[in-house]
């Protein structure tokens, strides 16, 4: 027995043994958070290879401690970082169904905007306390924690550290490469949520750090792209004499709740949508996200680019699209003389749309900061009925044809888990398969019932216009409920539905599509074939799936990351001078009256902010033609500015006026 103790004591003197033990414990904690329960403790027995691989990833980071004398402190810092990431994933999964990835750091600003809708003040306080406690603990450990004695030269000390780190890295890299080559794990995930559970948090999160953008194919070359270009240039779509107005409406978290097995509803919540699906061209739409990720469905529909070809959990709006222009339906239709408009009844800065839409070919972008007469849901989201007037305004703004891409927001989560005071749902829902989400689902059903009213109103309004119109409507993803495929009659929680309505005769078709195929399909129905991505989808969709997706990815790489060989070496698209809002905001007069300054003009709303000589004042909207501020006086030559600012206080546009009195 004494010999065993002596052996164990001797083994414990090796640094890598410490690191291995700490990493095993830390990996168990991480997986408990990842699987949202103590089942994480069973991973070594259920998936031993995956567990060892993820532990090696943790060990690589733990070897950083070998370069410091305060090793316990560094072990704790590394542990706090990993636990913090795992805990963040745990919290995020309680409000959305997409796990936490490195790309979420790009979304911090947007997350802060809506945090109050997902976590209450008690949870905020608890998070602050935990962060403060972790920082305080690390500070105390830094000041009073143990230091190891170094009895060798510094060069040898660091050399040993480097050797051990390299050995652990090679072990992790070698095992990871082997697992990837044998398809034991995947480096690219079609279903991110399933991948995190199947392959472990550490592997998936690290993949999201290292794998970004669209990877370059070994086939990519000037000759390969030349052949593709020649082939696509020969695409000859039967042109139509029709050039109708084209309207796309992406409906937030929208799907037909009758697809949930076993539920009972007191009335049909979607009579308009179901009627249009049955009478018009329609089908299922496979979207790249579940429960969240609106902008990725949006990106696929507009560009025809497959989100699966990017890194895990990547949001192109937040990465490549902030600096690059991209072929899109807006650019394609601009080539045919269309005016292009984007509309969204939420903050213009959300997902950086105020920057991205100029790189997607839009002339105007009307966000909530340019809308008046908005009503809100009990959870604080703008209702979608405002969009009918905004779409009409876009159509009326030009004499020619218009393309209008609209993103709704009313169906957005989070949904209340307890009845909302003062709110009485019109439709009662029973027997929802997840009892603890019964109240939330009933609230959701009533919100999409109002969205269905908007659908009916929009179609009726458009049908009365004396011009040809095509309207495409679809859901961006399913709402944030704990659905499984078995709960849904269509058996796929990554499917929504779409329909194509027109006020002129169009042959009815029923096709199930990928989101990145929707625009090219609609355009093909109209006899439009513009742009290489659109031509590719229209001409290659019947090829084998493997060949179709392989060449699509090569084309996407060339357009966004490569040498633009499909265009002859230089993109033909230029960023537009994006105008915020359709109607011009104007100041016609500024004057003092009693204790106030009044600003007269046009198209003011609740987001209009007044500044005098650079100083901002609390602004009261009297009407869309009159603003009022107190605590100031104006005199001749003072510069008065009316700026449009959202809740995040980012200025989207401004108009100026020099006082004449």
Q: Are residues 551 and 592 in the same domain?
A: no
Same domain, 96 and 126: yes
Mean pLDDT for all residues in the chain: 91
Question: Does residue 17 belong to any structural domain of this protein?
Answer: yes
- Do 253 and 140 fall within a single domain? no
Comparing 30-39, 203-212, 220-229, 554-563, the range with the smallest average pLDDT is 203-212
Q: Is the pLDDT of residue 190 over 80?
A: no
Q: How confident is the model at residue 110 (pLDDT cuts 50, 70, 90)?
A: low
Indicate whether 434 belongs to any domain. no
Q: Over the stretch 144-186, which tens digit does the pLDDT of each residue have? A: 878 877 777 888 888 989 999 999 999 999 999 999 888 888 7
Residues 536 and 645 reside in one and the same domain: no
Supply the DSSP symbol for 382.
B
Last residue of a domain, one of 210, 241, 268: 210
Domain check: are 14 and 103 in the same one?
A: yes
State yes or no: pLDDT of 97 exceeds 70.
no
For residue 627, pLDDT beyond 90:
yes
In a domain, 430, yes or no: no
This prediction has a pTM of 0.85
What pLDDT score was predicted for residue 348?
94
Assess whether 480 and 337 both reside in one domain. yes
**What pLDDT score was predicted for residue 305?**
97
Do the domain assignments include residue 380? no
Instruction: Identify the sign of the CA torsion 159, 163, 164, 166.
Output: positive
pLDDT tens for residues 548-567?
999 999 999 999 999 999 99
Residue 237 — pLDDT band, cuts 50, 70, 90?
low
Q: Which carries the bigger pLDDT value, residue 473 or residue 110?
A: 473
Q: What is the mean pLDDT of residues 14-28?
A: 89
Give the model's pLDDT for residue 625: 97
C-alpha dihedral, 474 to 476 to 479 to 480, nearest 10° = 170
CATH code of the domain in which 511 resides? 3.40.720.10
**Residue 481 falls inside a structural domain:** yes
- Note whether 599 and 459 are same-domain residues: no
**566 close to 555: Cβ distance less than 8 angstroms:** yes
Provide the pLDDT for residue 95. Answer: 64
Cβ neighbours of residue 264 closer than 8 Å, sequence gap 6 or more = 429, 430, 431
Residue 150 within any structural domain of the chain: yes
Residue 204 CB: number of other CB atoms within 10 A? 27
> Mean pLDDT, to the nearest integer, of 111-125?
63
Confidence band (pLDDT; 50, 70, 90) for 441?
very high
Summarize the confidence of residues 372-382 as an average pLDDT.
95
If we measure between CA atoms, which residue out of 298, 492, 332 comes closest to residue 406? Answer: 298
CA atoms within 13 A on the CB side of 366: 28
Instruction: Give the structural domain span for 597.
Output: 584-658
User: Within a domain: residue 86?
Assistant: yes
> Do 130 and 244 fall into the same domain?
no
Together in a domain, 619 and 483:
no
Going by C-alpha positions, the residue among 513, 490, 596, 414 that lies closest to residue 256 is 490
How is 83-110 classified by DSSP, letter by letter?
HHHHHHHHHHTTT-SS---GGGGGGHHH
- Average confidence (pLDDT) over 116-132: 72
Q: How many residues does the chain have?
A: 661
What is residue 138's predicted lDDT score, i.e. its pLDDT? Answer: 80
Determine the Cα–Cα distance for residues 629 and 616; give it in Å rounded to an integer: 10
Give per-residue pLDDT as tens, 335-346.
999 999 999 999
Distance CA(658)–CA(96), nearest Å, equals 49
Residues 573, 325 contacting (CB under 8 angstroms): yes
Distance (Å, whole) CA 577 – CA 571: 17
pLDDT at 118 over 60: no
pLDDT given at position 414: 84
| Local confidence band at 209 (pLDDT 50, 70, 90 cut-offs) | confident
Indicate whether 60 belongs to any domain: yes
Distance CA 614, CA 617 (A): 10
Instruction: Please tell me the predicted confidence (pLDDT) of residue 11.
Output: 64
Q: What is the mean pLDDT of residues 581-604?
A: 95
In 548-625, beta strands by DSSP E: 579-580, 586-593, 596-602, 608-612, 615-617, 619-623
Place of tokens 């002596």: 6
**CATH code of 632's domain:** 2.60.40.1220
> Do β-strands 626-630 and 596-602 pair in parallel, antiparallel, or remain unpaired?
antiparallel
Q: How many domains does the chain have?
A: 3
Indicate if the pLDDT at residue 239 is higher than 80: no
Task: Examine the fold and report which residue of 554, 579, 604 is the final residue of a domain before the chain moves on.
Answer: 579
Among 190, 210, 230, the domain-final residue is 210
631: left (phi over 0), alpha (psi -120 to 50) or beta: left
**Residue 486 and residue 618 share a domain:** no
- Claim to verify: residue 268 and residue 405 sit in the same structural domain: yes
- Rounded to 5°, the CA angle 40-46-49 comes to 100
648 and 524 co-located in one domain: no
């Amino acid at each position: 027995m004494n010999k065993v103790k002596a052996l164990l004591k001797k083994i414990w003197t090796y640094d890598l043994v410490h690191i291995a033990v700490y990493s095993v414990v830390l990996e168990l904690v991480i997986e408990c958070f990842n699987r949202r329960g103590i089942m994480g403790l069973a991973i070594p027995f259920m998936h031993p290879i995956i567990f060892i691989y993820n532990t090696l990833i943790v060990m690589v980071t733990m070897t950083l401690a070998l370069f410091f004398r305060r090793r316990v402190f560094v072990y704790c810092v590394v542990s706090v970082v990993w636990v913090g990431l795992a805990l963040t994933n745990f919290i995020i999964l309680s409000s959305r169904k997409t796990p936490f990835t490195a790309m979420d750091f790009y979304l911090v600003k947007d997350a802060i905007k809506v945090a109050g809708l997902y976590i209450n003040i008690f949870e905020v306080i608890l998070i602050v306390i935990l962060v403060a406690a972790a920082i305080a603990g690390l500070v105390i450990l830094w000041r009073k924690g143990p230091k190891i004695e170094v009895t060798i030269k510094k060069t040898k000390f660091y050399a040993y550290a480097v050797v051990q780190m390299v050995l652990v890295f090679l072990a992790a890299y070698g095992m990871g490469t082997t697992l990837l080559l044998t398809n034991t794990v995947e480096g690219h995930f079609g279903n991110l949520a399933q991948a995190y559970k199947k392959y472990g948090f550490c592997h998936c999160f690290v993949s999201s750090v290292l794998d970004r953008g669209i990877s370059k194919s070994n086939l990519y070359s000037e000759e390969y792209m030349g052949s593709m270009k020649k082939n696509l240039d020969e695409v000859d779509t039967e042109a139509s004499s029709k050039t109708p107005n084209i309207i796309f409406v992406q409906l937030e978290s929208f799907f037909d709740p009758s697809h949930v097995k076993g539920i009972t509803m007191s009335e049909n919540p979607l009579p308009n949508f179901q009627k249009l699906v049955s009478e018009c061209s329609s089908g299922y739409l496979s979207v790249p996200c579940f429960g969240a990720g609106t902008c990725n469905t949006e990106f696929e529909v507009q560009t025809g680019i497959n989100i699966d070809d990017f890194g895990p959990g990547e949001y192109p709006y937040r990465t490549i699209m902030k600096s690059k222009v991209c072929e899109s339906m807006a650019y394609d239709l601009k080539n045919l003389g269309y005016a292009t408009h984007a509309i969204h009844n939420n903050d213009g800065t959300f997902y950086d749309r105020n920057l991205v839409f100029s790189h997607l070919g839009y002339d105007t972008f009307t966000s909530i900061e340019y809308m008046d007469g908005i009503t809100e849901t009990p959870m604080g989201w703008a209702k979608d009925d405002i969009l009918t007037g905004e779409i009409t305004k876009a159509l009326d703004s030009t004499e020619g044809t218009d393309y209008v891409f609209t993103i709704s927001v009313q169906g957005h989560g989070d949904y209340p888990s307890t009845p909302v005071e003062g709110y009485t749902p019109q439709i009662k829902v029973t027997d929802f398969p997840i009892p603890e989400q019964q109240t939330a689902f009933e609230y959701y059903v009533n919100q999409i019932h109002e969205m269905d009213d908007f659908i009916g109103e929009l179609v009726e309004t458009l049908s009365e216009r004396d011009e040809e119109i095509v309207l495409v409507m679809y859901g961006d993803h399913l709402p944030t409920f704990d659905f499984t495929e078995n709960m849904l009659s269509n058996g796929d929680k990554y499917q929504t539905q779409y329909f194509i309505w027109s006020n002129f005769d169009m042959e009815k078709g029923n096709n199930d599509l990928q989101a990145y195929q929707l625009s090219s399909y609609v355009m093909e129905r109209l006899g439009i074939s513009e742009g290489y991505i659109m031509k590719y989808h229209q001409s290659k969709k019947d090829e084998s799936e493997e060949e179709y997706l392989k060449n699509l990815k090569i084309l996407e790489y060339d357009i966004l990351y490569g040498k633009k060989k499909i265009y002859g070496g230089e993109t033909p698209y230029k960023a537009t001078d994006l105008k915020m809002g359709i109607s011009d905001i104007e100041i016609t007069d500024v004057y003092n009256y009693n204790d106030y300054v009044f600003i007269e003009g046009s198209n003011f709303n609740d987001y209009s902010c007044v500044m005098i000589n650079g100083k901002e004042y609390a602004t009261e909207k009297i009407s869309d033609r009159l603003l009022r501020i107190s605590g100031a006086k104006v005199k001749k030559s003072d510069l008065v500015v009316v700026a449009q600012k959202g809740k995040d206080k980012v200025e989207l546009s401004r108009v100026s006026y020099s006082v004449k009195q």
